[in-house]
Amino acid sequence: MKYRNIPGIDTPISEVGFGVWSVATPWWGVRDDKLGKRLLRAAYEEYGITFFDTGDVYGQGKGETMLAEALEGLRDKVVIATKFGYDIYAKRGDRHGGHSELPQYWDPDFIRKACEESLRRLKTDTIDLYQMHNARMEVIQSDVVLETLERLKEEGKIRTYGVALGPDIGWRDEGLAAMDRKVDMVQIINNLLEQDPARDLIRAAEEKGVSLVARVPHASGLLDGTYDPDRHFDKTDHRNHRPIKWMQAGLEAVRKLRFLYEGTDRTIGQAAILFNLAFPAIKSVLPNITSEENLREFAQAPDKTPLSEEEMRRIEELWTSELAEKLKQPFSNSKVKPTPVAAK
């Protein structure tokens, strides 16, 4: 494993991190809590992964409690990131099922409550990286929100804060605005098949000295060999929300990317991670880890041969080709709800 640094956090973060959503929710097919905890523990003990990214909304707190249980006794050796903004405390009748979004709140009292509850579930005194979860422009530009986060930082409850852009691909303007507001970190979607608006966000982050974390490096299974076009995915599975035409175009693109792994020491899944790590602004990559096999494969990616300038040039050519135009369409059909800053 190799490591990079995020300002404000003393512990270096591993170039491959662990996104807890893959084991704390059913979105990727893992429904075995014992397996999830075993993978989380093994990530550190066997492969040197020190960066763990969760969120209070994952399983309505389950992601945080699972992480605390799995990493018991390791708190000073790992970096924990979590997220806030969704009202996971609403009455069950007010909640939305599946992948639809819960109500969001951003007033100081709610942010403080969310922080205290996350600290309790994580069994820690300090959150290393506290992220606004899928925040819209109104939230990012709110002085009230940033002032509240600064107070939490001064009180030692959080070390750094940032924005996890989403819920789907896009959010260029929000990402650029967050960097202008001098947040410490921005989490983006970036992979070989989805490079916009990540290209603009990476360029801005390098100019402004902002740290990035990249998620969905494998494009919902297209870039790690797990996607089967003949397989039916359950409605709770995240891959079920990808447009069929997009997936078909993705399979065509994957065939043109064989030069990244055939005849090399890399698998396609490792090449997809190394593509992200070719950018210095990206400090860690969050693949979806659901088994001991892909934990091993993904964790070993930083030790494989880095992508060469020639390989990056060929990737650039593919992204400007006619095929890429088929890929430049929305990640999903998710509906965006207004997110009040000071309403509760």
Catalytic residue IDs:
58
Helix then strand count (H, E) for the chain reads 13, 10
Q: Which residues contact 105 (CB under 8 A, 6 or more apart)?
A: 85, 87, 340, 343, 344
Q: How far apart are the first and last CA of the chain?
A: 44
Check: CB of residue 67 under 8 Å from CB of residue 80: yes
Rg of the chain over Cα atoms, rounded to whole angstroms, equals 19
Backbone φ and ψ of 337, nearest 5°: -105, 150
Residues 6+ apart with CB under 8 A from 29: 234, 237, 290
Rounded to 5°, the CA angle 242-240-272 comes to 55
CB contact at 8 A, 165 and 171: yes
Give the C-alpha separation, 296 to 304, whole Å.
Answer: 13
Closest CA to 175 of 148, 195, 147, 202: 202
Tokens of 106: 């951003």
Give the integer Cα–Cα distance in Å for 274 and 291: 20
Can the peptide bond before residue 302 be classed as cis, meaning omega within 30 degrees of 0? no
Q: Are 18 and 289 in contact (CB under 8 A)?
A: yes
Please state whether beta strands 3-4 and 127-133 pair in parallel, antiparallel, or not at all (unpaired).
unpaired
DSSP, residue by residue, 215-279? E-TTGGGTTTT---TTPPPPTTSGGGGS-HHHHHHHHHHHHHTGGGTTTSS--HHHHHHHHHHTS
